[in-house]
A = this chain, B = another copy of it.
Amino acid sequence: MNAPLYISAPATIANLVCGFDILGLALESPHDPMRLSLSPEPGLRIKHTDGYALPTAPEKNVAGAALLALMQELEAPVGFDLVIHKEIKPGSGLGSSAASSAGAVVGANHLLGNRFSKEDLVRFAMNGEKVASGVKHADNIAPGIYGGVTLIRAIHPLDIVPIQAPPLHVAVVHPQIEVRTADARQILRNEVQLKLAIKQWGNIAGLVAGLIKGDYPLIGRSLEDVIIEPVRSILIPGFDEVKKRCQEAGSLGGGISGSGPSIFMLHEQRHTAEQVGGIMKEIYARLGIDHKVYITSVNPEGVRLSTHPFPGQEP
């Protein structure tokens, strides 16, 4: 029997407010524990140990679609057994599907002797996003695989640029309402005003410069989205109050994580993030909406691998 590889696949925040479809950031928590083994029996078998009733047929499973894309580029057939335990709730806006896809291909590449580049792995994992949302986007996949903050400069051909970032403490609230990625995309207009687009690209340039320079005030000033947030935030009860009160409490800024409904706020100091987490809880408790709050930080490595189970993971 082949020794299993234990995988920790991180949650990710796509868009980062002004960087719709081009920026993403990996988080330390939540993360999905996974277990992958090479098998003498060719093909792919997937098991979920969580309660989400996700499909386990490889071509319908996001991790499965990603692994199948990788396996197609191998010269000889291989076999894998994959066990997934989702901690990142599907539909949270925290890159749940991307975590499964990214974790699976990073793990498989390790078991196959690292024959693929990170860019290859992103390309494979994007097939999982296609299964999940119909669109091969990379803004959760890339930070999951590279860690830290990543820029997807272009999709055709794929051009991923790691963006160095200073320490950032992140408060995330997941109000447990349903916002489907496909719906969140549909309510966007196909055209935007040029003057708003100019404002947006000023902010994106400012955010990238602020991250690389470690200029926290510039990061804060640049965390403004004049195009997507005004439309999508309507789908998230409490959004305006959360954002306003967190900024008053010292958040650098923040907004919708991916297509929502999770909301994230960035901070220079851990204690500010903790205080902001308290505000988030208070608001959703008052609104009577089930919610989960994470106080975490940027994960600089992305998917982690181990020969031993991660804390809390079944062997």
Contacts and interface: CB of A to CB of B under 8 A. Distances in A.
Contacts of A201: 18-20, 22, 197, 200-201, 204
A192 B194 contact: yes
Contacts of A222: 153
Q: How many copies does the complex hold?
A: 2
A209 B151 contact: yes
A221 B190 CA distance: 26
A195 B154 CA distance: 12
Interface residues of A, number: 41
Interface in A183-222: 188-195, 197-210, 212-213, 218, 221-222
A258 to B, nearest CB: 15
A159 B220 CA distance: 12
A202 B22 contact: yes
A305 interface: no
A122 to B, nearest CB: 15
* Interface-centre pick from A153, A188, A198 (highest chain B CB count, 10 A): A153
Given A161-B218, A208-B208, A213-B212, A152 B202 contact: yes
Interface string A1-37: 0000000000000000011111100000000000000
Interface of A: 18-23, 151-154, 159, 161, 163, 188-195, 197-210, 212-213, 218, 221-222, 227
23 contacts: A18-B201, A19-B205, A20-B201, A21-B198, A22-B202, A151-B209, A153-B218, A153-B222, A154-B203, A154-B221, A159-B221, A161-B210, A163-B209, A188-B194, A189-B194, A191-B194, A192-B193, A197-B200, A201-B204, A204-B204, A205-B207, A208-B208, A212-B212
